[in-house]
Amino acid sequence: MSFSSISSVALSRDASDISFHINDDSSPLLDDAMLTVDLVLSTQAKAIAYLTNQYRKSQWSRSQMKKSLRILNNGLNAGGKIVLSGIGKSYKIAAKIVATLNSLSVQSALLHPSEALHGDLGIIREERGDVVILVSASGNTTELINLLNYIPGNVPVILMTSSRKSQLSENPRVSSLLYAELPKRLSEKLLYGLSAPTISTTLCLTLLDATSIALAELYMNDLELRRSDLAIATLEVQLAQIQ
């Protein structure tokens, strides 16, 4: 590799041994970076294709999805809402899905597991038919396992996970799974050498997006009404930003 387009000027005093200033776009470092971009995009696409095939062919996965949709739909029909919770990257995924559901006129709320144990658990209303979705790729998130002990007994709990066998998936309080299988050949550790949440988060987000649209169609089967509600929600956000 030629370093003709790379300067040894450090990006910072602490990074002098690991970082280089890049003078122009012809740098071979950028060519290597583009190979990484290609790798990530292609593996993400493969993972989603695998997920699509999973829900076309796996009767177990389809059965779990149907059960989850039934529980969610019936909770909404009883006047309840969907409460999502996760930690770290999973919390951010949960936040995005809450925003999507609310824009589709499906009442939902975000609950941080740590804050739940300091007073926010009251957001879950057992008497109104609320349903909880826990988001955990590993299914072994300590904070969610702890939270599960405090969720009211009559509140159904659904687990969004990439692990079919885990502490949460095998907990009797969990009614059903939204399962996004991550094959070993597509694991972040194997492909990138790092366990950075990328493919696993994409799968969880994609499956929750699909679940959200399917649930909205079940709960509100009038397409024009859903479009109207989405337009109103969008307008309200725009007006709030102006104000």
Report all structural domains of the chain as residue ranges with CATH numbers, in order of start.
Answer: 59-238 (3.40.50.10490)
CA distance 160 to 131: 13
In the predicted structure, residue 204 carries a pLDDT above the cut 60: yes
With beta carbons less than 8 A apart as the criterion, state whether 211 and 68 touch: yes
Residue for token pair 């499906």: 106
Q: How far is CA 34 from each of CA 23, 28, 48, rounded to the nearest angstrom?
A: 17, 10, 21
Q: What is the pLDDT of residues 28-54, one digit of tens each?
A: 889 999 998 998 899 899 999 999 999
Q: Give the pairing of strands 174-179 and 108-110.
A: unpaired
Is the pLDDT higher at 228 or at 126? Answer: 126
Q: Copy the structure tokens of residue 63.
A: 């059965």
Those residues whose C-beta lies under 8 Å from the C-beta of residue 143, and which sit 6 or more positions away, are 87, 113, 114
